[in-house]
Amino acid sequence: MKITSARVIVTSPGRNFVTLKVETDEGVSGIGDATLNGRELAVASYLTDHVIPSLIGRDPRMSEDIWHYLYRGAYWRRGPVTMSAIAAVDTALWDIKAKLADLPLYQLLGGKSRDRVLIYGHANGADLEATVDAVGKYIDMGYKAIRAQSGVPGIEKAYGIGRGDMYYEPADARLPTETVWDTPAYLNFVPKLFEKLRDTYGFEPQLLHDVHHRLTPNEAAQLGKSLEPYRLFWMEDCTPAENQEAFRHVRRHTTTPLAVGEVFNTIWDCKQLIEEQLIDYIRATVVHAGGITHLRRIADLAALYQVRTGSHGATDLSPVCMGAALHFDTWVPNFGIQEYMRHTDETDAVFPHDYRFEDGHLIVGETPGHGVTIDEALAAKYPYDPASLPIARLRDGTLWHW
C-alpha cells in the first residue's frame, strides 16, 4: 500500500484552518489538522514544500516510522511549525489506518476507557455581572465545567473577552492589536469574580480560569493562594513556562490545581513540569504536539506522576483536531478534561463530523477513522484571511506576555 498524493487545504469559514489530505492507491484517504493560529501559511509551506514530496510512495500504515522520519530526519527538531506539520501527517495516517481496520480510531489505541468525555466551555463577559450571567447560561446548557474570563476594571481589553458570547476568537486584525496589561488591577479583581460565582452557583459546577501567561511566579503564587477558597478545577498558564523551575515556587505556595502546556510541542517541553510534579494537568494537544503518536508518549509519561490530560481545544484547533482529540480522550487512561469552544455553523459545515454534545460531555461516533471529513467545494468558497494574535504591553509600554 502506498501514499499516492497529499495536499494542503487552507480555508477560512469565519477563521483560518489548514488541513492536510493524504490519499492512497487503495482509495482510502485521511485528513489531519495543521492549523497554527496567525502562522497558518508557514505550516502550509512546510508541508507542501518539504513534507509532502517525501511522503509519496511510503506505506501509510507505517505511521511510527514516518513520524520519526519527519522528526529526526529533518535534523531541525521541534518547534510549532514543524510539530504541527508532523501532527497533520500523523493524524491523517491514523485516520487511514482506522478506516482500513473499519474501526473508530479509539479502538486502535486500546478501546474505550470511558463512555463520554468531560468538556469545559468558555463563559466570558465585559464585567463581573456579565460574566456571572454568562456562566449561568453555560450551566443552563448543561455544562459541568466552565472557564470564566472577565473584563477587568481599568483594563480595556482583557484576555478571553469575545465579541459575542459563544465564538471567542483572539486573532482579530491583520497586524497584532495592541492591548494594555495591568497586573495589580487583575490580581485585585479575579478573586472577587470567583467569590461571586461561588455565591451565585455554589460549588457543584467546576470552574476554571486562564491567566494566559501574564504573571510572574510570585504573583502567580499569590493568585493561586487567593483563589483557594473557591476550589477551582484549575488555574491555567499562570506564568510563562520556558523556565519550568519557576513552577516550583508557585507549587510550594498554593494547592490550586495547575494546568500548563497549550503552546508545548514535544515531550521535552513537558518533561520537567511532569517529572517534578509541578502541575496537575498537561494541556498539550494533537495538532500542536506532534499528533496522536507523540501525544500518547506525553500522556504515558504524565500517568507515571498522576498528571492528567486537559488538552487545548480553542476554536483555532479545527474540528479535525477535535475529532482526533476526542478519540484520544475516550481512550487515554489518565484523562482529566477536554477544552471545547464551539465552532461556528460555517466551520461545522466545512468539516462534517460525528462527535456530539450531550449533558456537558462530548461523545465520539462509531464512524471508522476519526470521524471528521472536509467538504472541499465548500472550503474553496472561503479564501485565506490573514489575522494575527494580539500583543500586550504594560502601562509604560513594555512588551509583555499576551
Q: Point out which residues bind Co ion (CB under 5 A).
A: 210, 262
d(CA 355, CA 342) in angstroms, rounded, equals 12
Least separation in angstroms between CB 98 and Co ion: 29
Residue the block writes with cell 508557585? 250
Would you call 137 exposed, middle or buried from its count of C-beta atoms within 10 A (0-12, 13-18, 19+)? middle
Q: Is 40 in the site for ligand EZ4 (CB under 6 A)?
A: no
Q: Is 42 in the site for ligand EZ4 (CB under 6 A)?
A: no
Q: Annotate 33-46 with b (16+ C-beta within 10 A) or e (fewer).
A: bbbbbebbebbbeb
Q: How many residues does the chain have?
A: 402
Nearer to Co ion, 151 or 170 (CB): 170
Least separation in angstroms between CB 144 and ligand EZ4: 18
d(CA 329, CA 347) in angstroms, rounded, equals 22
Nearer to Co ion, 288 or 343 (CB): 288
Binders of ligand EZ4 in range 149-208 (CB under 6 A): 170
Q: Is 329 in the site for ligand EZ4 (CB under 6 A)?
A: no
Q: Is 209 in the site for ligand EZ4 (CB under 6 A)?
A: no
Nearer to ligand EZ4, 318 or 367 (CB): 318
Question: Could you give the count of Cα atoms lying within 13 Å of 317 in the half-sphere of its Cβ?
Answer: 26
Binders of ligand EZ4 in range 348-387 (CB under 6 A): none
Nearer to ligand EZ4, 73 or 386 (CB): 386
d(CA 177, CA 184) in angstroms, rounded, equals 22
Q: Annotate 278-301 with b (16+ C-beta within 10 A) or e (fewer).
A: bbbbbbbbbbbbbbbbbbbebbeb
d(CA 50, CA 227) in angstroms, rounded, equals 47
Least separation in angstroms between CB 327 and ligand EZ4: 21
Residue the block writes with cell 494594555? 180
Nearer to Co ion, 11 or 265 (CB): 265
Contacts of 42 (CB under 8 A, 6+ apart): 36, 81
d(CA 48, CA 53) in angstroms, rounded, equals 7
d(CA 122, CA 129) in angstroms, rounded, equals 16
Least separation in angstroms between CB 389 and ligand EZ4: 6
Least separation in angstroms between CB 84 and ligand EZ4: 12
Nearer to ligand EZ4, 210 or 280 (CB): 210
Least separation in angstroms between CB 122 and ligand EZ4: 8
d(CA 393, CA 182) in angstroms, rounded, equals 9
Using CB distances below 5 to 8 A depending on partner kind, what does residue 196 bind out of Co ion, ligand EZ4, none? none
Q: Annotate 207-243 with b (16+ C-beta within 10 A) or e (fewer).
A: bbbbbbbbbebebbbbbbebbeebebbbbbbbbbbee
Task: Tell me which stretch binds ligand EZ4 (CB under 6 A): 297-305, 312-320, 321-329, 347-355.
Answer: 312-320
Active site residues: 159, 212
Angle 73-86-29 from CA coordinates, rounded to 5°: 115
Contact by Cβ (8 Å): 296, 276: no
Using CB distances below 5 to 8 A depending on partner kind, what does residue 15 bind out of Co ion, ligand EZ4, none? none
Task: Tell me which stretch binds ligand EZ4 (CB under 6 A): 27-35, 295-303, 310-318, 391-399.
Answer: 310-318
Q: Coil, strand or helix: which one is 240?
A: coil
Nearer to ligand EZ4, 3 or 235 (CB): 235
Task: Tell me which stretch binds ligand EZ4 (CB under 6 A): 148-156, 311-319, 345-353, 356-364.
Answer: 311-319
Q: Is 336 in the site for ligand EZ4 (CB under 6 A)?
A: no
Q: Which amino acid is at 378?
A: L
Using CB distances below 5 to 8 A depending on partner kind, what does residue 314 bind out of Co ion, ligand EZ4, none? ligand EZ4
Least separation in angstroms between CB 314 and Co ion: 7
Binders of ligand EZ4 in range 84-123 (CB under 6 A): none
d(CA 121, CA 139) in angstroms, rounded, equals 10
Task: Tell me which stretch binds ligand EZ4 (CB under 6 A): 4-12, 103-111, 309-317, 378-386.
Answer: 309-317
Nearer to ligand EZ4, 95 or 210 (CB): 210
Least separation in angstroms between CB 23 and ligand EZ4: 29
Q: Is 33 in the site for ligand EZ4 (CB under 6 A)?
A: no
Enumerate binding residues for ligand EZ4 (CB under 6 A): 37, 170, 210, 212, 262, 312, 314, 316, 339, 389
